[in-house]
Amino acid sequence: MKWRYGLLAVVMIVGAVSGWWLQQKKGCVSVSPPPVVPPTVILLSIDTVRADHVGCYGYPRNTTPTIDRLAQESVRYRQVMSVAPNTAPAHMSMLTGMSPLVHGVHIYGKDGNYRTLAAEIPTLAELLHQHGYHTVGLTNSLQVGKVLGFARGFDRYEDDFFSVDGMYRDPVATEQNSRQRWREVLAEANQRRQPLFAFLHHFLNHSVYLAPPREYRERFADQLLDFLPRSHVELPNRPGVLDDDRRFFETVTGEDMRQRGHVAALYDGALAYSDHTVQIMIEELRAAGRWENTLFILVSDHGEELYEHKCWGHSQLWAEHLKVPLLVKFPAGHAAGRVIEQPVQTDALAPTILAVLGMPIPPTMQAAPLPPLQVTSPAPRFSYQPECDGQGEPQLTGMRVSTDSYTWFWHNRLPEIEFLFAATDTMEQHNLAEQQPAECRRLRAMTEEKMAADRAWRAHLLAHAGAAEE
């Protein structure tokens, strides 16, 4: 199997009556000029959203009314996998179109270990800036911080948007401040008379799900238990333990379904508040007169486990750690309400944005644009478990591949090293590795070939850039 890099085929966009959205004709795609007025581009990533807790993906609780309405105006991708179950590598793949082994950015470690994006690797913000976009990043986590290289190409990059710490202190003031700053960004873009690209990200849906205001934390109060924490101040004091996750989850017995329900209810409440922040951002875009001509992408970096595999949180390769929502609202409402069944991955976002804008996609990008901008045969989907090891070359503790028939992955920190699941086993409960060793060998060989190709491509990029500078 040969792994190709850059654009896998020519991407062409057919103009509809109003301008430029694509239509497929007889299996071909053709292109019209980009829009006369370049659209506003918004990439909104809500951290830690598993797709199966979102209403438009079939969840019965009313967690996401705003996102559900947005889905009616958007193309919804039904089968979306993140390339990594961690914030830093997943987001850097979104912004570079590369796998984590190629861009090399892993997590920002609590011990201070991190790896900054190599200067030789271009980012979406840099490319859009070169084409005249005013570029703004509003985030609130070191995992998408300047030290890792996320600020490259941005005219303005701030890291306290919808701050979790601010929410603990004063949620009302924090929300008002964040709304005002978003309003200022839109006003500044209008004054500059430049098209706007904004990357927005917040951690309000992240564990321990206690940052939102009380009305959201207790949105699903019928599932909450009195003897478990439901606010930050109720977390137990543990001598020498400052980590909120430990203080919270040490109080929970995962084998008790009622206690699992308590955690899920807090998670859903945090998701409901995250949905509220989406409403704020859309309201301000409408007020600024930008909504109609906005390419608005809503996504998450990874999912979250709620003890389905006897674990809380994320950072492993189970499906619930990786399956995320993805909505793309195109300007002028083109293709609104369409649902794409073809499996996709989140590293396709940067080339998708460039393709919609009619800009060239650099050959450094491995991913191709999302369908229907590019119509391709279903391909294996790979997800990576990066390991933070300081400034050395990228390493892995696990890797996953999914085909139409099976999902296979290895993870050297789990009791069972190798897993094989039928595609129909969506909850990944029946490991077939012992029964089907030949299929395991085939899929392992596929991941090893992909890893080797990724490492070779990273070495090529860095060596080629170094030679060009000399």
The predicted-structure confidence for 251-270, as pLDDT tens digits, reads as follows 999 999 999 999 999 999 99
How would residue 23 be classed by pLDDT, with cut points 50, 70 and 90?
Answer: very low
Lowest-confidence pick of 110-119, 255-264, 425-434: 110-119
- Tokens representing 283 are 């309201």
* Rounded CA Rg of the chain: 22
Same domain, 326 and 463: no
**Cβ neighbour number for residue 4 with a 10 Å cutoff:** 10
Within a domain: 1: no
- Written as one string, the DSSP assignment of 399-431 is EEEE-SSEEEEEETTSSSSEEEEETT-TT----
Same domain, 258 and 324: yes
Within a domain: 427: yes
Query: Of 365, 381, 397, at which residue does a domain stop?
Result: 381
DSSP β-ladder status, 196-202 and 134-138? parallel
**177 exposed, middle or buried (CB, 10 Å; 0-12, 13-18, 19+)?**
middle
How much is the pLDDT for 468?
43
Please tell me the distance from the alpha carbon of residue 211 to that of residue 228, in angstroms, as a whole number. Answer: 16
Same domain, 394 and 298: no
Please tell me the distance from the alpha carbon of residue 363 to that of residue 65, in angstroms, as a whole number. Answer: 39
- Tokens representing 343 are 């499996």
Within a domain: 21: no
Query: Of 338, 366, 381, at which residue does a domain stop?
Result: 381
How much is the pLDDT for 238?
73
DSSP β-ladder status, 75-77 and 80-81? unpaired
Q: What is the mean pLDDT of the chain?
A: 87
How would residue 465 be classed by pLDDT, with cut points 50, 70 and 90?
Answer: low
Q: Which residues of 285-307 are buried (b: 16+ CB within 10 A; e: fewer)?
A: beebebbebbbbbbbbbbbbbbb
Please tell me the distance from the alpha carbon of residue 105 to that of residue 390, in angstroms, as a whole number. Answer: 10
- Written as one string, the DSSP assignment of 334-350 is TTTT-EE-S-EEGGGHH
DSSP β-ladder status, 406-411 and 40-46? unpaired
22 pLDDT above the threshold of 50: no
How would residue 380 be classed by pLDDT, with cut points 50, 70 and 90?
Answer: confident
- Tokens representing 294 are 């906005």
In 3-state terms, the chain is what percent helix, strand and coil (to 5)?
A: 35, 15, 50
Q: What is the CATH number of the domain that holds 440?
A: 3.30.1120
Closest CA to 125 of 91, 76, 86: 91
How much is the pLDDT for 71?
98
Within a domain: 218: yes
How much is the pLDDT for 345?
95
Count of domains forming the chain: 2
How much is the pLDDT for 397?
82
Give residue 54's domain range: 40-381
Q: Is the dihedral of CA 372, 333, 324, 96 positive or negative?
A: positive
Query: Of 336, 354, 381, at which residue does a domain stop?
Result: 381
User: Per residue in 2-17, pLDDT tens?
Assistant: 332 222 222 333 233 2
User: Per residue in 315-355, pLDDT tens?
Assistant: 889 999 999 999 999 999 989 999 999 999 999 999 999 99
How much is the pLDDT for 288?
96
Within a domain: 13: no
Are 285 and 80 spatial neighbours (Cβ–Cβ below 8 Å)?
no
Within a domain: 30: no
Same domain, 397 and 353: no
